[in-house]
């Protein structure tokens, strides 16, 4: 039987290959996607609306892209499944971006149908060309489809990867990386550089991949210590994070449910007060966000454990745990040398919304944190003796 570190390493290597797969997409398809998005985002005095149509972890991958849109364009407003299409519809000023690996998510297909009924433009990212969503969009005049191939729910080789990439992790990671990389290409086109080979997209995917491969070099002894602190507990798991780190946190929390653990996202309305035996896992790139520090103080006051995932070794969070003799309870996500300065220092923030740095940078930390947490789930399934079929029974 492989060690926990071997499982982590193999799962991480596999996920790095998922990123590399994005370089094998037909660049004509990527270019077409970018062109249409750039045309929609082009300056206009009138407000425009983008609907993110997705559910579950696929939605969290898409919402990272919606945050980029909101941060970069003053008159383009993103909405989600919580906002009915009819509420904000403006003829000629709407675009729907639907994400569904299976193409069979009922809520997603309902919103696709609403967009079609309103004659709005719709883009679908899927993995199943036999799915209902594919058929709906393919038959619609204003619809377009981008296929992400690989090991998905409906492929025949799924069992060969189920141990290292359970429950559709590949599709969600590829959606996250693709949309963030294609945003770089969209910006290039808006500035007048329209290369059919999509050099900005390719360079960004390569950068994400190089950064992700650094995860393989995390110290083995430290990782195995962290795993053995994380999994054998009867207490509850509370996962925290804000902004795009919060999206990673919510995706990670979902998987603890699939591992048959009692877990909460920190901002859930039903999140309980901490108690002895619980663990608080804040995910924060900079390690100084107000919410992460407050959550840590709250957890400490109730004698819960704190096991952060961050990139900043000089953060207030790291200093606090080091003084308590718990520095080994922190996982430091590695980033390339050129990005280290972005994740350094102990600058105090009153709220994450105040940081232009947070708003406009690409998700270097968040993609690595996504890969890391996905690999942790694979380790957790092995540690707890849970197979993918068992996780699927717990999947909503």
Contacts of 69 (CB under 8 A, 6+ apart): 41, 50, 76, 78
Residue 144 and residue 230 in one domain = no
Give CA–CA dist 12/378, Å, rounded. Answer: 10
Residue 169 and residue 284 in one domain = no
Question: CA of 262: how far to CAs of 94, 110, 254, 300, in Å?
Answer: 40, 31, 10, 20
Residue 183 and residue 59 in one domain = yes
SS3 state of residue 33: helix
Q: Give the end of a domain, one of 174, 193, 214.
A: 214
Q: Give the end of a domain, one of 191, 214, 237.
A: 214
Residue 344 and residue 233 in one domain = yes
Report if pTM > 0.85: yes
Residue 146 and residue 256 in one domain = no
Residue 18 and residue 147 in one domain = yes
Give CA–CA dist 133/99, Å, rounded. Answer: 9
CATH number of the domain enclosing 301: 3.40.50.10490
Count the domains in the chain.
Answer: 2
Residue 366 and residue 315 in one domain = yes
> Tens place of pLDDT for every residue, the chain, 396 residues?
468 999 999 999 999 999 999 999 999 999 999 999 999 998 888 888 899 999 888 988 999 899 888 888 888 888 876 665 555 556 667 899 999 999 999 989 998 998 898 888 999 999 999 999 999 999 999 999 999 975 444 444 555 567 788 776 889 999 999 999 999 999 999 999 999 999 999 999 999 999 999 999 999 999 999 999 999 988 999 999 988 898 999 999 999 999 999 999 988 888 889 999 999 999 999 999 899 999 999 999 999 999 999 999 999 999 999 999 999 999 999 999 998 888 888 776 554 444 444 555 678 899 999 999 999 999 999 999 888 878 777 665
- On whether the CB atoms of residues 271 and 236 are closer than 8 A, the answer is no
Residue 174 and residue 223 in one domain = no
Residue 175 and residue 152 in one domain = yes
* Count of alpha carbons within 13 angstroms of residue 290, beta-carbon side: 7
Dihedral sign for Cα 109, 110, 115, 118, please.
positive
């Amino acid at each position: 039987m492989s060690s926990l570190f071997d499982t982590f390493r193999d799962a991480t290597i596999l996920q790095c290959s998922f990123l590399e797969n994005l370089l094998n997409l037909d660049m004509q398809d990527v270019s077409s996607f970018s062109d249409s998005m750039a045309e929609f985002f082009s300056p206009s005095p009138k407000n425009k609306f983008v609907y993110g149509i997705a559910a579950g972890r696929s939605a969290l991958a898409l919402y990272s892209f919606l945050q980029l849109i909101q941060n970069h364009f003053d008159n383009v407003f993103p909405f989600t499944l919580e906002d009915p299409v009819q509420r904000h519809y403006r003829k000629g000023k709407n675009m729907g971006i639907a994400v569904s690996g299976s193409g069979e998510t009922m809520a997603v297909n309902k919103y696709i149908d609403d967009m079609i009924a309103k004659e709005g433009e719709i883009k679908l990212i899927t993995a199943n060309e036999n799915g209902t969503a594919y058929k709906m969009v393919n038959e619609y005049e204003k619809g377009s489809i981008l296929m992400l191939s690989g090991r998905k729910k409906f492929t025949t080789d799924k069992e060969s990867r189920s141990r290292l990439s359970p429950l559709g992790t590949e599709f969600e990671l590829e959606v996250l990386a693709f949309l963030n990389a294609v945003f770089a290409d969209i910006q290039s086109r808006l500035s007048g550089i329209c290369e059919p080979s999509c050099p900005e997209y390719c360079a960004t995917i390569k950068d994400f991949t190089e950064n992700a491969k650094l995860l393989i070099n995390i110290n083995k002894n430290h990782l195995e210590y962290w795993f053995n602190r994380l999994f054998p507990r009867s207490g509850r798991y509370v996962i925290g994070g804000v902004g795009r780190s919060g999206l990673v946190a919510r995706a990670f929390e979902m998987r603890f449910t699939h591992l048959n653990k009692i877990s909460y996202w920190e901002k859930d309305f039903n999140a309980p007060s901490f108690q002895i035996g619980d663990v608080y896992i804040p995910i924060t790139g900079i390690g100084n966000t107000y919410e992460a520090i407050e959550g840590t103080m709250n957890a400490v006051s109730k004698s819960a454990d704190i096991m952060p995932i961050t990139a900043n070794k000089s953060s207030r969070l790291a200093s606090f745990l080091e003084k308590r003799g718990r520095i080994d309870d922190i996982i430091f996500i590695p980033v390339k040398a050129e990005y280290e300065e972005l994740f350094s220092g102990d600058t105090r923030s009153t709220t994450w919304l105040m940081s232009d740095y947070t708003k406009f940078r690409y998700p270097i930390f968040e993609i690595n944190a996504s890969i890391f947490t996905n690999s942790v789930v694979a380790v957790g399934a092995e540690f707890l003796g849970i197979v993918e079929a068992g996780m699927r029974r717990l999947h909503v």
